[in-house]
Amino acid sequence: MGSREEQKTQSTDFAGQAVATRDAYGTALAELGKRNEKVVVLDADLSGSTKTAKFAKAFPDRFFNMGISEQDMIGTAGGLSLTGTIPFASTFAIFETGRAWEQIRQTLCYSHLNVKLVATHSGITVGEDGASHQALEDVALMRVLPQMVVIVPSDGFETKQVIDTVAEYEGPVYVRLGRAKVPAVMPADYKFQIGKAYKFNIGRDVNIIANGIMVSAALQARELLSKEGIDAGVINMSTIKPLDTEILLEAAKSSKLIVTAEEHSIIGGLGGAVSEFLSENHPIPIKRIGTQDTFGGSGKPDELLKLYGLTAEDIVKTVTEFMRK
Amino acid sequence: MATVTQSRDIGFLKEQARIVRIEILKMLTQSGSGHTGGSLSAADIVTALYFYKLRHKPEDPKWRERDRFLLSKGHAAPLLYTALALTGYFDKSLLSTLRKTGSPLQGHPSSKMLQGVEVSTGSLGQGLSIANGMALGLRLDKSPSRVYCLLGDGEIQEGQVWEAAMTAGHYMLDNICAIVDLNSLQIDGRCEDVMKIDPVAEKWKAFNWHIFEIDGHNMEEIVNTLDEAEKIKGKPSVILAKTVKGKGVSIFEGKVEYHGLAPTKEELEIALKELGENGK
């Protein structure tokens, strides 16, 4: 056991580091376990992949491997929360939200239980495993549930803050993480708050509302667009529910076009949430970047991003086509 | 509200079970809908729990050291509500609001709306997992509290029940006691016709549970078994309680149609007469 100072220097906040959000989670969770004895962790036989294995190694008594049984994992996490612990339950996003959706609805949300669902392997950047393992619907599934908070962090630095923050929040939360390494995008002075989007800048022509890995693509798109004389803004909407409607209104009122960008179906996720709000409150043209009502497939993450139209170039193309009209 | 009167006296418990049945039938008749058969079949078991076995404080529903009771077969809500009201969690007059708009007595139990309900249930098959989680949490806490979970026999057709059964066996949760209300009927008919669940005991045994097989209407056997189950160490216990759906009222006994039907006023009169309610 090191002193407090030593532990602090060993820890990392991932500022400025390119890292997979699941790796940041594994480290953040193990550190959280040190600080907060109430934290317990459940996994469904994927702890090596979700990175909860790090917590399991450090705190074997507070780690419960539930085997390949996601529905039981959710119920057990709910029961654990009712004895005052703070359970984090992890597996791949499709199994967590899809296989156990009704358990999440009935047991966690309806009773407002203090369980944190932190799912990894979301989106097509899962890569080679293919469509069966690539959740493109999970945000839609979680967002529709009353009581649920839905968060999609953009990089390792934000992920670490999200994990620390949701541990302090009372109620069910869904955190969506990825498998592949992602570039650092958030500035060193960034402080995550639930329901608060981060404004890189507000553009006069277009504002790109992104989350997860697409924040990085949006920032690249902004540079490319500026070369074409288009003033683009970028907002990281890491909390999809509750939605930061104040920033959305500001973005919509300042520009001619809103673009949403997410590694998820264009149905029901960030694009859905933004469209629902703006169509009722400040109608403006909206273009949604995401997977087009389709399943994913096997391949290298970078190749898949190109194939499914989730690159900076795709954002640029969408914007310039709109501007030319 | 008065602290609950608890006793191991069999005569006392039988009398409480009779009163519980009367209140269930009255509230169901008043509401005009709800689940009669499965509330009556488990009435003796739940009476034994609330009036004898559970360590609980109705005046302090969140008392840390309480034993937990989970009604996994949430459609027997009238039974749970009656047990809660009669042991002092809330005023008995609330029972007449069952299933009415705005009432905390929802069609299936809601923990956010009613004190004493540990967790919301109603969607079958989910309670045992929650009970396991509580048992794990209590063990981490080194708490002596026990967790009781009541399931229906139709309910054990749900796959999640067996995931949970595997978990309790794996984690050797000896602070949990599951009770299966084996009334042999489910909404579409006899369990053996709809989806055979037999052999039930062998299944639980195979999942590393200690088995008790009892008559779920013999109060002495219920009480003795609840005591015995507490002594089993190193593995979870399950009480397989053979019961009669609609037990206590001849016109409801063994009748599948009363799974989800409330008694009419005329049927209530017959029922009250049989239960010796003296037309109160």
Q: How many domains does chain A have?
A: 2
- Together in a domain, A215 and A173: no
| A5 a catalytic residue | no
Residue A268 lies in a domain: yes
Closest CA to A125 of A324, A289, A310, A257: A310
Q: A-chain residues within 8 Å CB-CB of B167?
A: 66-67, 69, 72, 76
- Together in a domain, A175 and A235: no
- Together in a domain, A215 and A305: yes
- Together in a domain, A108 and A158: yes
Alpha-carbon distance of B200 to B180, in angstroms, equals: 10
**B241 beta partners:** B181, B214
* Cβ contact A241:A152 at 8 Å: no
Do residue A82 and residue B164 have CB atoms under 8 angstroms apart? Answer: no
So what's the ipTM on this one?
0.96
- Together in a domain, A57 and A89: yes
- Together in a domain, A210 and A136: no
Q: Render each residue's pLDDT in chain B as its tens digit; 280 residues.
A: 455 689 999 999 999 999 999 999 999 999 999 999 999 999 999 999 999 999 999 999 999 999 999 999 999 999 999 999 999 999 999 999 999 999 999 999 999 999 999 999 999 999 999 999 999 999 999 999 999 999 999 999 999 999 999 999 999 999 999 999 999 999 999 999 999 999 999 999 999 999 999 999 999 999 999 999 999 999 999 999 999 999 999 999 999 999 999 999 999 999 999 999 854 4
- Together in a domain, A130 and A92: yes
Residue A7 lies in a domain: no
Burial of A122 per CB tally in 10 Å (0-12, 13-18, 19+)? buried
- B132 CA: distance to closest CA in chain A (Å): 6
Size of interface A-B (CB pairs under 8 A): 109
CATH number, domain containing residue A245: 3.40.50.920
The vertex-B13 CA angle with B129 and B225, nearest 5°, equals 50
Peptide linkage before A242 cis (omega within 30 of 0): yes
Look at residues A182, A211, A241 and tell me which one is the last residue of a structural domain.
Answer: A182
CATH number, domain containing residue A47: 3.40.50.970
Alpha-carbon distance of B110 to B92, in angstroms, equals: 18
Does A62 lie at the interface with B, CB-CB under 8 angstroms? yes
Do residue A78 and residue B167 have CB atoms under 8 angstroms apart? Answer: no
Residue A211 lies in a domain: yes
Residue A6 lies in a domain: no
Residue A2 lies in a domain: no
Does A113 lie at the interface with B, CB-CB under 8 angstroms? yes
Q: B-chain residues within 8 Å CB-CB of A75?
A: 126-130, 132-133, 160, 164
- Together in a domain, A214 and A303: yes
Residue A1 lies in a domain: no
Peptide linkage before B199 cis (omega within 30 of 0): yes
- Together in a domain, A122 and A246: no
Q: Are strands B176-182 and B147-152 parallel, antiparallel or unpaired?
A: parallel
- Together in a domain, A136 and A275: no
Q: Which domain holds residue A143?
A: 12-182
Domains of chain B: 10-274 (3.40.50.970)
Model confidence, pTM: 0.96
Residue A191 lies in a domain: no
Does A193 lie at the interface with B, CB-CB under 8 angstroms? no
Do residue B129 and residue A74 have CB atoms under 8 angstroms apart? Answer: yes
Determine the 3-state secondary structure of A140 from DSSP: helix
Alpha-carbon distance of B254 to B245, in angstroms, equals: 5
Which residues have a Cβ under 8 Å from the Cβ of A4 and sit 6 or more positions away? none
* Cβ contact A218:A270 at 8 Å: no
Look at residues A182, A214, A230 and tell me which one is the last residue of a structural domain.
Answer: A182
> What torsion do the CA atoms of B135, B140, B146, B147 make, to the nearest 10 degrees?
-20
- Together in a domain, A53 and A162: yes
- Together in a domain, A25 and A159: yes
Burial of B11 per CB tally in 10 Å (0-12, 13-18, 19+)? exposed
Closest residue in A to B119 (Cα) is A111
Phi-psi domain of A181 (left: phi exceeds 0; alpha: psi -120 through 50; beta: other)? beta
